[in-house]
Amino acid sequence: MSVAWLTAVGASDIDTVGGKAASLGELTEHGLPIPDGFTVTAGAYRRFITETEIAEELFEAIDIDVEDSRALAEAEQQARKLILDAPWPDEIRSDVLSAFDDLGEDSVVAVRSSATAEDLPDASFAGQQDTYLNITREELLDRIKRCWASLFTQRALYYREEQGFDHAEVDIAVVVQRMVDADKSGVLFTSHPSTGERQLTVEAAWGLGEAVVSGSVSPDHYTYDRETDAVESVTVSTKKVMHVRDPETGETVETEVPEAKRDERVLSDDELHDLSEIGELVEEHYGEPQDVEWAISNGSIYLLQSRPITTIDAEAGDEGTKTAGTPDGQDDSVLVDGLGASPGTATGTVRVVGTLDQLDKVNQGDIIVTEMTTPDMVPAMKRAGALVTDEGGMTSHAAIVSRELGVPAVVGAETGTSTLTDDQLVSVDGDRGIVADGQQAPASDGDAESQQSAAGPSGPAAKPMTATDVKVNVSIPEAAERAASTGADGVGLLRMEHMVLSTNETPAHYVANHGEDAFVSSLVDGMRTVAEAFYPRPVRIRTLDAPTDEFRKLEGGEDEPAEHNPMLGYRGIRRSLDEPETFRLQLRAFQKLYEMGYDNVELMFPLVNDGEDVRRAREQMEAVGIDPDKRDWGAMVETPASALCAEDICEAGVDFVSFGTNDLTQYTLAVDRNNGTVADRYDELHPAVVRLMRETIATCRDHDVATSICGQAASNPKMIQELVDAGISSISVNVDAAHDAQREAKRVEQHLILESVRE
Q: What percent of the chain has pLDDT over 70?
A: 86
Range 322-339 average pLDDT: 58
CA gap 220, 262 in Å, rounded: 11
Asked if 140 and 176 touch (Cβ cutoff 8 Å), the reply is yes
pLDDT at 249: 75
CA gap 472, 493 in Å, rounded: 7
Question: In this predicted model, what pLDDT tens digit does every residue of 233-285 receive, in sequence order?
Answer: 887 877 888 888 877 777 778 888 898 898 899 999 999 999 999 998 988 88
Confidence of residue 756 (pLDDT cuts 50, 70, 90): low
Instruction: Report whether pLDDT(314) > 70.
Output: no
CA gap 125, 119 in Å, rounded: 6
Instruction: Report whether pLDDT(617) > 60.
Output: yes
pLDDT at 657: 97
What is the three-state SS of 643-669?
HHCHHHHHHCCCCEEEECHHHHHHHHH
Asked if 571 and 546 touch (Cβ cutoff 8 Å), the reply is yes
Question: In this predicted model, what pLDDT tens digit does every residue of 372-418 receive, in sequence order?
Answer: 887 667 778 878 999 999 876 654 677 777 877 788 999 888 889 99
CA gap 241, 257 in Å, rounded: 5
CA gap 430, 406 in Å, rounded: 10
pLDDT at 169: 81
Range 556-576 average pLDDT: 89
Range 534-556 average pLDDT: 89
Question: In this predicted model, what pLDDT tens digit does every residue of 456-471 receive, in sequence order?
Answer: 333 334 456 778 899 9
What is the H or E stretch that residue 222 is in? strand 220-225
Instruction: Report whether pLDDT(124) > 70.
Output: no
* Residue predicted with more confidence, 290 or 90: 90
Question: In this predicted model, what pLDDT tens digit does every residue of 693-730 receive, in sequence order?
Answer: 999 999 999 999 999 998 778 878 889 889 999 999 99
* Residue predicted with more confidence, 404 or 524: 524
Instruction: Report whether pLDDT(367) > 70.
Output: yes
- Average predicted confidence (pLDDT) for the chain: 83
What distance separates the 2 farthest-apart alpha carbons in the chain?
93
DSSP 350-392: EEEE-SGGGGGG--TT-EEEES---GGGHHHHHH-SEEEESS-
pLDDT at 96: 96
CA gap 579, 360 in Å, rounded: 34
* Residue predicted with more confidence, 206 or 462: 206
pLDDT at 49: 95
463 to 443, 698, 724, 740, 747: CA distances (angstroms) = 34, 28, 17, 10, 13
**Which of 44, 51, 48, 78 lies closest to 63, judged by CA?**
78
Confidence of residue 669 (pLDDT cuts 50, 70, 90): very high
Instruction: Report whether pLDDT(443) > 60.
Output: no
Instruction: Report whether pLDDT(754) > 70.
Output: no
pLDDT at 454: 36
Asked if 332 and 214 touch (Cβ cutoff 8 Å), the reply is no
Indicate the burial class of 754 (C-beta count within 10 angstroms; 0-12, 13-18, 19 or more).
exposed
Confidence of residue 686 (pLDDT cuts 50, 70, 90): very high
**pTM here?**
0.49
Confidence of residue 322 (pLDDT cuts 50, 70, 90): very low
Task: Out of 147, 645, 650, 710, pick the active-site residue.
Answer: 710
Identify whether 147 is a catalytic site residue: no
Q: Which of 204-213, 305-314, 622-631 has the lowest mean pLDDT?
A: 305-314
Contacting residues for 167 by C-beta, under 8 A, at least 6 apart: 59, 62, 152, 157, 160, 161
Identify whether 700 is a catalytic site residue: no
Task: Tell me 537's DSSP state.
Answer: S
pLDDT at 480: 84
* Residue predicted with more confidence, 570 or 333: 570
CA gap 213, 131 in Å, rounded: 12
Task: Out of 192, 397, 498, 739, pick the active-site residue.
Answer: 397
pLDDT at 329: 39
CA gap 316, 304 in Å, rounded: 27
Question: In this predicted model, what pLDDT tens digit does every residue of 529-540 receive, in sequence order?
Answer: 899 888 889 999
CA gap 710, 538 in Å, rounded: 14
CA gap 50, 44 in Å, rounded: 10
Residue 394 has phi, psi (to 5 degrees) of -70, -10
Indicate the burial class of 392 (C-beta count within 10 angstroms; 0-12, 13-18, 19 or more).
buried
Residues across the chain: 759
CA gap 268, 512 in Å, rounded: 63
Confidence of residue 676 (pLDDT cuts 50, 70, 90): low
Range 344-362 average pLDDT: 86
Q: Which of 95-104, 160-169, 554-563, 571-580 has the lowest mean pLDDT?
A: 160-169
